[in-house]
Amino acid sequence: MVSLSLRFCSLLALVPLAAVGSVIPRADTYDYIVVGGGSAGSIIASRLSENSSVSILVIEGGPSHEGEVDLTIPYVYPRTFRSRFDWNYTTVPQPNLGNRPGIYLRGHVLGGSSSINGMTLNRAPASDWDKIASYTGDSSFRWEAILPYIKKNEGFNRPPNTPEYANTYDPAVHGFNADKIGNTLVTDGNWISQPALQAATEVGINYVRDVNGGLPVGISWQQFSTKDGSRSSAATAYLNAGILSSRSNLKVLLNTFVTRLLPVSRTDLRFTTVEYKDASGNIVTVSARREVIISAGVMSTPIILMRSGLGPRAHLQANNITTILDIPAVGQNLQDRCGAAAVWRVNATDTDDDIDRDPAVFNRWLNQWNQDHTGRLTQMSYRQMIFGRVPNNASIFTGGFQDPSSGPTCPHYELYPANKWTSPTTPQPATGNFVSMNIFVSASNVRGTVTLDPTNPLTGNPVIDPKYLSSEWDRYVMRDAVRTSVRYFNAPAWKKWNATPVFDTAILNSDAALDAWISSSAFGGVHGVGTARMGPANSPAGQDVVAPNFKVKGVSGLRIADTSVFPFVINGHTMGATYAIAEKVSDLIKSGN
């Protein structure tokens, strides 16, 4: 257990706003205040504090990550779901997911979602970055311009120098900064890699040398944000105890809930004062001399803006919040990537199923991890990933339908085979060995919303409606991805392992039957973006929330830097792309732009 820095001022849990007394302004001020010490916020605070002449305060809603085993051992990361490290959000019932509400996981801890996530390290295809550059009119978002930030953030761990791993990554696209985010391939020689790769060849899926080289369509080796057998997060790399104790200009308030931001006055829209709750339930304000950076994530950032009077006027009025600036785009444009898992029984014995169902097996691996941080718990159950596209001649494209993806090298869906049962909607059987295909829609054209809780706008959870699978395109992509998965597990490479579906493949015979299976099997995503989206510097007021320099349009002293600013769905997992923009905005601020 690493002891907490004395400068961690841990505040108590939330107190209902009704109990709040007077507003207490703090005497101390900081040059910069970062709201949310998550994936982006940890990096920004750490980078800004490299300059010892400026002071930084991070206000984080959750506790410290230090010494927490569930945040450290990679395999056990699902234990953090619905724990004190999760904000415990729920979506509204989703009509295309059998009217089920979904859980919406978000990290409630230093490091944010990077402290609880699945650690798959992607950075989005090059064409996604080029599309952002084109949409915003800012070429500094182009892939070539973003790559240096990605490398700066990364400590790539080379796989063993053996023929098996000779062609599994491209060193030219990686950074090798040992003190930054670890990036590791799973290289344990598990049986599943051979059929997983061979089956791809057999069904015509091309091999991609490096998933993070900008052209991910095909099958490649997964890369994970781990280092020396443990999770590597924004907190472990950028706000660890060593950094915090050595930088007197950097202070972190933990377990501290930011309620809103305040302008200097109704006519002076400098938003440099942050309001939060202290241990006694008092409302406290603290001010920044230069800027406030909101990095509270895709769900909380728009909510904090709305509570501050920055949002769609009608929605604010309905919640008795005075509109300071009407910004219709706040809380709109939520895009995410929902998924489903299909499962096959296999005759292999070396799957991870027993780790999940047999405490004796789990404890054996735990003992090994405790001894030297090696073994099965250093990784997840995935080794390869497939990014795929709906064929160009697919019926959906007739009649002038425009492909919403960022171009012909951008994935429409993602598949990753697992060497165990992964379906969250049907319980794992008590015996047997399984492989699963995790299937995600990627280039979604659905846009959902995040709004205030009308029963408790000031401290309630966000009302989240991702509108999963509500477009014909998203449903088409999901169907195509399921059919591709079945073709893949029918390939000769899996015959030796007698891969047998545990679901009725007759569902493939009609779209209606397939839709019904998807509706009962699908689950919500964790890669939400867009709720405070970035747009061109000169776009009409309210259409977008931030300019390409991450500054909130129409006010001053305020930037947003987290997943909420991405204007389009990221066609890969979002952590890596978030790290890239955090490094970029840090440079912008440091250089006075």
Q: Is there a catalytic annotation at residue 527?
A: yes
> Which of 422, 442, 488 has its CA nearest to residue 118?
422
User: Scanning the structure block, which residue is given the tokens 């204007």?
Assistant: 567
Mark the segment that binds ligand FAD (CB under 6 A) among 186-194, 289-297, 316-324, 531-539. Answer: 289-297
* Residue 483 exposed, middle or buried by CB count within 10 Å (0-12, 13-18, 19+): middle
* E strand or H helix that includes residue 35: strand 23-35
Query: Does 64 engage in binding with ligand FAD (CB under 6 A)?
Result: no
**Largest Cα–Cα distance of the chain, in whole Å?**
73
> Is 58 part of any known ligand binding site?
no
Backbone φ and ψ of 148, nearest 5°: -60, -35
* Residue 553 exposed, middle or buried by CB count within 10 Å (0-12, 13-18, 19+): buried
In whole angstroms, the minimum distance from the beta carbon of 432 to ligand FAD comes to 26
- Considering only 11, 15, 34, 38, the residue that binds ligand FAD (CB under 6 A) is 38
- Considering only 59, 185, 239, 366, the residue that binds ligand FAD (CB under 6 A) is 59
Q: State the amino acid at position 354 in one-letter form.
A: D
Mark the segment that binds ligand FAD (CB under 6 A) among 111-119, 141-149, 502-510, 542-550. Answer: 111-119
In whole angstroms, the minimum distance from the beta carbon of 136 to ligand FAD comes to 18
Cα separation, 94 vs 103, whole angstroms: 11
Number of residues that bind ligand FAD (CB under 6 A): 40
Mark the segment that binds ligand FAD (CB under 6 A) among 2-10, 100-108, 162-170, 195-203. Answer: 100-108
Long-range own/partner contacts, residues 276-280 (CB < 8 A, 24 or more apart): 276/59, 277/11, 277/14, 277/15, 277/20, 278/11, 278/24, 279/11, 279/12, 280/12, 280/15, 280/21
User: Scanning the structure block, which residue is given the tokens 């995040």?
Assistant: 450
In whole angstroms, the minimum distance from the beta carbon of 512 to ligand FAD comes to 32
Query: Does 124 engage in binding with ligand FAD (CB under 6 A)?
Result: no
In whole angstroms, the minimum distance from the beta carbon of 380 to ligand FAD comes to 8
Query: Does 411 engage in binding with ligand FAD (CB under 6 A)?
Result: no
E-strand ranges in 466-520 read: 500-501
> Is 109 part of any known ligand binding site?
yes
Catalytic residue chosen out of the listed positions 65, 174, 315, 573: 573
Query: Does 387 engage in binding with ligand FAD (CB under 6 A)?
Result: no
- Considering only 136, 240, 255, 295, the residue that binds ligand FAD (CB under 6 A) is 295
HSE at residue 554, side-chain half, CA atoms within 13 A, is: 19
Cα separation, 181 vs 196, whole angstroms: 27
Closest to ligand FAD by CB, 62 or 311: 62
Q: Is there a catalytic annotation at residue 108?
A: no
Grouping H, G, I as helix, E, B as strand and the rest as coil, residue 577 is helix
> Which of 156, 309, 284, 132 has its CA nearest to residue 226?
156
Query: Does 581 engage in binding with ligand FAD (CB under 6 A)?
Result: no
Rg (CA), the chain: 23
In whole angstroms, the minimum distance from the beta carbon of 70 to ligand FAD comes to 12
- Considering only 526, 534, 552, 581, the residue that binds ligand FAD (CB under 6 A) is 526
Cα separation, 386 vs 63, whole angstroms: 36
Query: Does 378 engage in binding with ligand FAD (CB under 6 A)?
Result: no
Query: Does 576 engage in binding with ligand FAD (CB under 6 A)?
Result: yes
Q: How many residues does the chain have?
A: 593
In whole angstroms, the minimum distance from the beta carbon of 592 to ligand FAD comes to 23
Cα separation, 212 vs 209, whole angstroms: 9
In whole angstroms, the minimum distance from the beta carbon of 472 to ligand FAD comes to 26
- Considering only 47, 65, 108, 584, the residue that binds ligand FAD (CB under 6 A) is 108
* Contact set for ligand FAD, span 231-260 (CB under 6 A): 257-258
> Which of 404, 384, 44 has its CA nearest to residue 235?
44
Query: Does 105 engage in binding with ligand FAD (CB under 6 A)?
Result: yes
Which residue, judged by CB position, is nearest to ligand FAD in the bound state? 38
Query: Does 562 engage in binding with ligand FAD (CB under 6 A)?
Result: yes
Query: Does 574 engage in binding with ligand FAD (CB under 6 A)?
Result: yes
Query: Does 102 engage in binding with ligand FAD (CB under 6 A)?
Result: no
- Considering only 315, 527, 551, 584, the residue that binds ligand FAD (CB under 6 A) is 527
Q: From residue 297 to residue 316, what is the string marking binding to ligand FAD with x (rule CB under 6 A)?
A: xx-x---x------------
Query: Does 125 engage in binding with ligand FAD (CB under 6 A)?
Result: no
- Could you tell me the CA-to-CA distances from 8 to 38, 80, 379 in Å, in that order? 15, 22, 31
395: left (phi over 0), alpha (psi -120 to 50) or beta: alpha
Residues that bind ligand FAD (CB under 6 A): 36-41, 59-62, 105-108, 112-114, 116-120, 122, 257-258, 295-298, 300, 304, 526-527, 562-563, 573-576, 578
Catalytic annotation, residues:
527, 573
For the annotated binding site for FAD, the residues are 109, 258
